[in-house]
Chain A
Amino acid sequence: MTTRDAGPALRADNRSILARLVVVAAAMFAFGYALVPFYEKICQVTGLRDIDRPAEVRNTQVDASRNVRIELDANTRGLPWTFRPLVATIDVHPGALTQVDFEIVNPTDRPVTGQAIPSYLPRNASEYFRKLDCFCFSTQTLQAGERRRMPVVFVLDPELPADVPVVTLSYTFFEVEGGPSARAASGRDNGSAARGS
């Protein structure tokens, strides 16, 4: 209707604008995906997500004047392991080097790979909680029936504000799909239903 008396020149001109704009739209779709590696890089450069790297401890002065209670918490999600801390709470002096242990058991008859992600309460405690060694720095692969005891070595920064008497350190183990042993795992949502290896 529109181009009823439109010449072929106008028609071609319209089509060329159409083609160019479709290319722009397709490029922007790709740009959305390009933001993924871009974001990874930004996080790497700024150190926003360095949760899998040992912290540096600058001040080793132990603040014996106060105790901070550390509560330990362990969870799994979509993963058939039993995972627990060997002690539920521990009192530490800020600045003192402390080790706590966790235990994981793989009760299934197949090897499973998992990755632990830490979180803290209160949330801003994370910047004072310096882990020198942690099983969460790498993935853990447990053979069928294996039981493993794993340490976390940490120093609580003496700069921790005095109004924080309790810090909760909570780990959640997630299954790493496509890990060395995950081929037998059937899927994320029913990861506990093992189909055997």
Chain B
Amino acid sequence: MSSIPHDHAAGGHEHEHAHYPGGIMRWITTTNHKDIGTMYLWFSFTMFLVGGVMALTIRAELFQPGLQVVHPEFFNQLTSLHGLIMVFGAIMPAAVGFANWMIPMLIGAPDMAFARMNNWSFWLLPPAGIMLVGSLFVPGGAVSAGWTLYPPLTIQNGMGMDLAIFAIHIMGASSIMGSINIITTILNLRAPGMTLMKMPLFCWTWLITAYLLIAVMPVLAGAVTMLLTDRHFGTSFFNAAGGGDPVLFQHIFWFFGHPEVYIIIMPAFGIISEIIPVYSRKPLFGYASMVYAVAGIAILSFIVWAHHMFTVGMPTAGLLFYMYATMLIAVPTGVKVFNWLATMWRGAITFETPMLFALGFLFLFTLGGFTGLVLAIMPVDIQIHDTYYVVAHFHYVMVAGSLFAFFGGVYHWIPKWTGTMYSEKLGRIHFWLSLVFFNVAFFPQHFLGLAGMPRRIPDYATQFTDWNMVSSIGAFGFGISQFVFLWAVIKCIRGDGAKAPAKPWEGATTLEWTLPSPAPYHTFETPPVVK
């Protein structure tokens, strides 16, 4: 895939000087996809630190049995908000940030299709984040029933729950607007010659993710609206006293929640699919099968939700259906993992930081996938439902999966974003510290879960002490390691490092590397022609 820019003279040319207001107004009024992508990524990193402080408070409390650091009620608020903030405030906005920065450059488009709406979809997020964090300070505190918001507890929570509901409404609206933008951009603004099946895989995974978001975010909005009317307007969707059923909420929530899991991981799949071929100096193995695998995962994600509810009560036929359907997802996921391995096979691999993170992703995400298969086995799940085994499982796929892929993506593209090469030394330190401390933090949680330690508790039986101490040490190490990342990024932004060439990676083939580094404010105003 190469391009021939500047092939007709109409319109502005590529190196036109950027016009935007100075100071804060630049960021408030911007409709530029690069500015908005940057804001998404910073918002996401801020929320990552906020949610991380909550996680470390949780781990500090769990360092030893008994209650030392926080009250149990506050502990429950921390576990609930940590989940909501990390899912809706950190991971999803980070993925949208990557989409904003990269999709127009990867497909040769000048910007997103609806630039003004793009600005709105970002600026909805800070109020939502403030509402979520601020709900800690209202009477009764924040939502304390877990990020899954199960009634009847969430019907009884105080006004912190209302703030969480509104925050979810706003973030949902933001996600839907962002998704509409991404779909329209990909369908309508591709450069001449860029057919769908020539698109970089990151665009494909985001296209499918965006459809998933539009399909399920409204369902979540409906579920929390029902909670809201149950709480304040006398309806009884989930209120047993009025003929409702709390189990119904779990079905609606997980009808959203399971596709949500893939919404979180699929952009990461896309980033990994961009990174591995570059540093292996080989084209992606099995491109078409990768596209079909992502589509297959997306379709299957709609029919497996009740595997989160094996202990809730369901006819045996239902249990078996959800068990087998869940296991079926391992097939397209396996296709992807094997394709990545085959891409590296006999490649001329170099181990720059992005590739290290991609390899870390590959090992640890696959491990998280395997524990997912264990959890899919219904009789096993009945034993370890709501234990730390589940906590370990989803942190392997969300932290070592999505987050590692995002770190890899930042290191991969930051030369293009800032025009400065990141410090390879800092990148490697960040990777190895993250890898080691991540495993120290989360691997012991498998043992805790198998031994029967339930999740979402501030105190525990003494036999769990040792592994909890190890896990807490790992968590603090992981948290502190992220400042190495922050330092590496700030160094790039300040231009403290080698100047990045237009194409710093030898194996890179996609369109963004045909642009100068840093990428000009306006790019591809004249579409490149893709051969």
| Residues of A bordering B, CB below 8 Å | 1-5, 10, 13-14, 17-18, 21-22, 24-26, 28-33, 35-36, 39, 43, 46, 48-49, 77-78, 115, 117, 174-177, 187-188
Contact = CB atoms under 8 A, between A and B. Distances in A.
A77 B240 CA distance: 11
Interface of B: 10-12, 31-32, 109-115, 176, 179-180, 183-184, 187-189, 214-223, 226, 234, 236-237, 239-242, 245, 248, 251-252, 255, 313-315, 522, 525
A4 B218 contact: no
B248 A1 contact: no
Contact of A1 (B111, B176, B215): B111
Contact of A117 (B110, B236, B240): B240
A2 B115 contact: yes
A18 B248 contact: no
A174 B525 contact: no
Given A4-B11, A17-B184, A22-B180, A32 B112 contact: no
A184 to B, nearest CB: 15
Nearest to A39: B248
A4 B111 CA distance: 10
A14 B114 contact: yes
Nearest to B31: A1
Given A21-B183, A32-B223, A46-B315, A5 B11 contact: yes
Contacts of A1: 31-32, 110-111, 115, 522
16 contacts: A1-B110, A2-B109, A2-B110, A5-B10, A10-B189, A14-B184, A14-B188, A18-B180, A21-B184, A30-B222, A32-B220, A35-B251, A77-B241, A175-B241, A176-B241, A188-B239
Nearest to A33: B222
Contacts of B236: 177
Nearest to A46: B315
Given A2-B111, A17-B183, A188 B241 contact: yes
A24 B212 CA distance: 11
A65 B220 CA distance: 54
A48 B309 CA distance: 15
B525 A5 contact: yes
B188 A17 contact: yes
A28 B214 contact: yes
Nearest to A27: B218
Given A14-B188, A25-B217, 5 more contacts: A1-B31, A1-B111, A29-B222, A78-B241, A188-B239
A28 B112 contact: no
Contact of B214 (A13, A25, A33, A175): A25
B218 A32 contact: yes
B232 to A, nearest CB: 10
Contacts of B214: 21, 24-25, 28
Contacts of A115: 241
A22 B241 CA distance: 36
B234 A177 contact: yes
B176 A32 contact: no
A128 B10 CA distance: 81
Contacts of B522: 1
Contacts of A49: 245
A18 B184 contact: yes
B504 to A, nearest CB: 28
A35 B221 contact: no
Query: Residue among A4, A30, A117, A176 with the most chain B CB within 10 A?
Result: A4
Contact of B248 (A2, A17, A36): A36
A46 B113 CA distance: 48
Nearest to A22: B180
A48 B318 CA distance: 12
Given A17-B188, A35-B252, A28 B215 contact: yes
Nearest to B236: A177
B166 to A, nearest CB: 16
Contacts of A35: 219, 248, 251-252, 255
Given A4-B110, A48-B313, A25 B176 contact: yes
A46 B188 CA distance: 47
Contacts of A28: 214-219
B480 to A, nearest CB: 40
A26 to B, nearest CB: 7
Contacts of B184: 14, 17-18, 21
Contacts of A10: 188-189
Contacts of B11: 4-5
A177 B242 contact: yes
A26 B218 contact: yes
Contacts of A174: 240-242
Nearest to A31: B219
Nearest to B118: A2
Given A4-B110, A4-B525, A32 B221 contact: yes
Contacts of B189: 2, 10
**Which 5 A-B pairs have CB atoms at the shortest separation, nearest pair first?**
A32-B222, A174-B241, A2-B111, A29-B218, A28-B218
A18 to B, nearest CB: 6
Nearest to A191: B241
Contacts of B241: 77-78, 115, 174-176, 188
A192 to B, nearest CB: 14
Contact of A25 (B218, B240, B314, B525): B218
